[in-house]
């Protein structure tokens, strides 16, 4: 997704000389293209994230469209107060690009994992939060946030994510709108960000195992969350399974629950939400993203087992 | 403006500040009084900021990074006609427009909201960098507190300032020697602090922060060759004798008796 980001940004920057890219010493082997083409619009601020976000604020006040890049925890947490005040309170045209959402940095360890970022970013007023799940969603996220003049946070994965949305001619990507991949009934699988690939495999496997195509939606925008769609699906589905590579606290599951609980629950067909997320526990489990998911029971097999259990309940 | 007129203006501002702090019972009068004369000089002599150029990118900008000295900035803005006087009267009060720190939305002359220490310099670096990119010749002034220099983010900004050779960036340290719980020197020794700026290759001046002539001498030039730091030695609470050099006036607001006494003192000064 980093290359999707840089390639898309280069296209945008060709036509808009207000665009400036700041990095906190990261982007090696990916950003050189941008730097070569726009040397006076690229700055490696160095390993000083708070400074970088403050500088982004100053640039944006002076009219620039600023893209700020680092690994998710460093840009959202190290610089959180600067994001909160210098960017959000001032409501500036700054896009925070975080790489390595969820457990994408795998064996690098906990300091490089992004577990709480969605919850803290969405708690900020004026902040738009996106977690694209494949290169299509990533490119569209960059293109659509370019059009807005208010703060946004885009949580990228790392690289090598496969394209999940294959037929996109009829798709119209919009900030704040979920994407329906399949409309089923009874069971709905709902995901965001880098869990999209695994969700797609689960969806296909469930079909193989039960001959049933469950509902399957992607939520690339966490904030503003697609309230309309959430209410619609709660009136159609009995079980919603949420899937995110983020803490159980404050991410996709929380966002959806917040919307649902404000309504007249009697109007819902929905009986339960079954959330899959990172439990509220640090892990010293060492390994790849896939391996650590297993340590947290977020692997494909664990989730399929649970969905099959639900399916059994429905059938009986 | 003559020195005498500047003194008259600063005295006027001190009276406004005293009124604001007395009415609202809010803290930080000591901090407002130490920075005030610098603000008077900047807004009356230095900054290229007029009603006509307020909405352009070409004018000078000022960031009060030590945002708790808000009363000083708000009072000067009101004297200059950049802030409605009615807003001053409801400072820090229910339904008022002005909070205890700086909210930039209250005046077009303000670019940056501040209040959490350590943010302003990086923002100033961004503004100065943008001017360089756009080949605009203006000055970005960032006012820091000396206690504020404890914050690491300040030194991150400082590192970038000289790295980018932002000679359009003017940093002023309001060195009033007191911070929240101790003297500034107890936390970071003054001489070390001066050396820190010098070691980062700033042009460093030390002046009396209440002396308009020294301000003119160091800030009077239209532009600088290097990013510049003016360490202004000031007196916390300057202007009212019983407040001067006392840490507690970081926190206290004048009671009725102190208010009357203070007002009298200020009135006597300009006669």
**Is residue A64 within 8 angstroms of chain B, CB to CB?**
yes
Q: How confident is the model over B87-100, as pLDDT tens digits?
A: 999 999 999 999 99
Determine what percent of chain A is predicted with pLDDT higher than 70: 100
Q: How confident is the model over A17-50, as pLDDT tens digits?
A: 999 999 999 999 999 999 999 999 999 999 999 9
Residue A159 confidence class, pLDDT cut points 50, 70, 90: confident
Residue A185 confidence class, pLDDT cut points 50, 70, 90: confident
Q: How confident is the model over A192-201, as pLDDT tens digits?
A: 999 999 999 9
Measured between CB atoms, which of B113, B123, B160 is closest to A45?
B160
> Angle at the Cα of B222 (from B69 to B138), degrees rounded to 5?
65
In B, minimum Cα distance to A39 occurs at B133
Determine what percent of chain B is predicted with pLDDT higher than 90: 98
**Is residue A45 within 8 angstroms of chain B, CB to CB?**
yes
Tokens of B86: 């009615």
Residue A182 confidence class, pLDDT cut points 50, 70, 90: very high
In B, minimum Cα distance to A79 occurs at B153
How far is Cα B20 from Cα A302, in angstroms, rounded to an integer? 64
Taking residues B175-188, what's their average pLDDT? 97
How high is the mean pLDDT of chain B? 97
Asked if A74 and A107 touch (Cβ cutoff 8 Å), the reply is no
Per-residue exposure over A102-131, b if at least 16 CB sit within 10 Å of its own CB, e if not: bbbbbeeeeebbbbbbbbbbbebeebbbbb
Is the pLDDT confidence value at B45 over 90? yes
Residue B34 confidence class, pLDDT cut points 50, 70, 90: very high
Q: How confident is the model over B14-31, as pLDDT tens digits?
A: 999 999 999 999 999 999
pLDDT of residue B14: 98
The candidate with the shortest Cα–Cα distance to A8, out of A147, A111, A122, is A147
Using only C-alpha atoms, chain B has a radius of gyration, in whole angstroms, of 17
> A-chain residues within 8 Å CB-CB of B156?
48, 50-51
Taking residues B26-49, what's their average pLDDT? 97
pLDDT of residue A158: 84
Q: How confident is the model over A254-264, as pLDDT tens digits?
A: 999 999 999 99
Long-range contacts, stretch A159-164, CB < 8 angstroms, 24+ apart: A159/A1, A159/A2, A159/A3, A161/A1, A161/A133, A161/A134, A161/A135, A161/A194, A161/A196, A161/A197, A162/A134, A162/A197, A163/A134, A163/A135, A163/A136, A164/A133, A164/A134, A164/A136, A164/A196, A164/A197, A164/A200, A164/A218
pLDDT of residue B82: 97
Q: How confident is the model over B145-175, as pLDDT tens digits?
A: 999 999 999 999 999 999 999 999 999 999 9
In B, minimum Cα distance to A78 occurs at B153
**Is residue B123 within 8 angstroms of chain A, CB to CB?**
yes
Q: What residues 28-87 of chain B have any CB closer than 8 A to a CB of chain A?
A: 57
Q: What residues 82-121 of chain B have any CB closer than 8 A to a CB of chain A?
A: 104, 111-113, 115-116, 118-119, 121
Judge if ipTM > 0.95: yes
Is the pLDDT confidence value at A268 over 80? yes
Is the pLDDT confidence value at B271 over 80? no
Q: Are the Cβ atoms of B159 and A43 closer than 8 angstroms?
A: no
Taking residues A300-307, what's their average pLDDT? 97
pLDDT of residue B46: 97
Taking residues A222-227, what's their average pLDDT? 98
pLDDT of residue A316: 80
pLDDT of residue B6: 97
Residue A160 confidence class, pLDDT cut points 50, 70, 90: confident
pLDDT of residue A63: 98
């Amino acid at each position: 997704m980093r290359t999707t980001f840089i390639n898309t940004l280069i296209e945008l920057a060709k036509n808009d000389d207000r665009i400036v890219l700041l990095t906190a010493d990261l982007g090696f082997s990916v950003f050189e293209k941008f730097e070569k083409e726009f040397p006076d619009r690229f700055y490696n601020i160095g390993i000083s994230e708070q400074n970088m976000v403050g500088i982004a604020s100053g640039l944006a006040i002076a009219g620039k469209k600023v893209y700020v890049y680092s690994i998710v925890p460093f840009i959202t947490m190290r610089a959180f107060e600067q994001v909160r005040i210098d960017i959000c309170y001032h409501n500036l045209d700054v896009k925070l690009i975080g790489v390595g959402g969820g457990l994408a940095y795998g064996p690098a360890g906990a300091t490089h994992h992004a577990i709480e970022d969605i919850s803290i970013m969405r708690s900020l007023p004026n902040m738009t939060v996106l977690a694209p799940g494949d290169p299509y969603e990533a490119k569209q996220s960059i293109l659509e946030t370019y059009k807005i003049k208010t703060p946004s946070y885009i949580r990228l994965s790392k690289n090598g994510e496969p394209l999940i949305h294959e037929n996109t001619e009829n798709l119209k990507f919009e900030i704040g709108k979920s994407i329906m991949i399949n409309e089923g009934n009874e069971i709905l699988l709902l995901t965001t960000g880098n869990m999209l690939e695994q969700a797609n495999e689960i969806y296909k496997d469930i079909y193989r195992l039960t001959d049933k195509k469950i509902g399957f939606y992607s939520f690339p925008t966490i904030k503003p969350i697609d309230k309309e769609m959430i209410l619609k699906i709660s009136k159609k589905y009995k079980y919603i399974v949420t899937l995110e590579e983020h803490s159980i606290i404050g991410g996709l599951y929380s966002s959806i629950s917040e919307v649902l609980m404000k309504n007249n629950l009697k109007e819902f067909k929905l009986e339960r939400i079954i959330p899959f997320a990172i439990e509220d526990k640090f892990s010293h489990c060492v390994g790849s993203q896939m391996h650590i998911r297993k340590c947290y029971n977020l692997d494909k097999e664990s989730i399929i087992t649970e969905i099959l259990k639900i399916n059994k309940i429905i059938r009986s | 403006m003559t020195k005498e007129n500047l003194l008259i203006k600063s005295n006027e501002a001190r009276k406004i500040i005293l009124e604001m702090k007395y009415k609202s019972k809010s803290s930080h009068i000591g901090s407002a009084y130490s920075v005030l004369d610098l603000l008077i000089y900047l807004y009356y002599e230095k900054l290229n900021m007029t009603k006509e150029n307020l909405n352009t990118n070409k004018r000078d900008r000022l960031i009060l990074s030590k945002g708790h000295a808000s009363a000083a900035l708000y009072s000067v803005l009101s004297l200059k006609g950049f802030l409605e006087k009615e807003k001053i009267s409801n400072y820090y009060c229910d339904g008022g427009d002005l909070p205890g720190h700086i909210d930039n939305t209250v005046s077009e002359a303000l670019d940056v909201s501040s209040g959490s220490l350590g943010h302003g310099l990086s923002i100033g670096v961004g503004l100065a960098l943008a001017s360089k990119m756009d080949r605009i010749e203006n000055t970005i002034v960032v006012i820091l507190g000396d206690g504020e220099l404890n914050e690491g983010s300040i030194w991150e900004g400082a590192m970038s300032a000289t790295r980018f050779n932002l000679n359009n960036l003017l940093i002023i340290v309001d060195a009033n020697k007191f911070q929240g719980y101790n003297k500034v020197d107890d936390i970071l020794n003054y001489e070390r602090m001066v050396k820190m700026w010098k070691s980062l290759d700033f042009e460093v001046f030390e002046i009396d922060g209440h002396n308009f002539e020294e301000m003119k001498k160091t800030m009077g030039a239209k532009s600088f060759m290097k990013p510049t730091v003016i360490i202004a030695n000031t007196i916390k609470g300057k202007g009212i004798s019983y407040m001067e050099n006392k840490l507690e006036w970081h926190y206290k607001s004048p009671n009725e008796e102190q208010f009357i006494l203070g007002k009298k003192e200020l009135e006597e000064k300009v006669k």
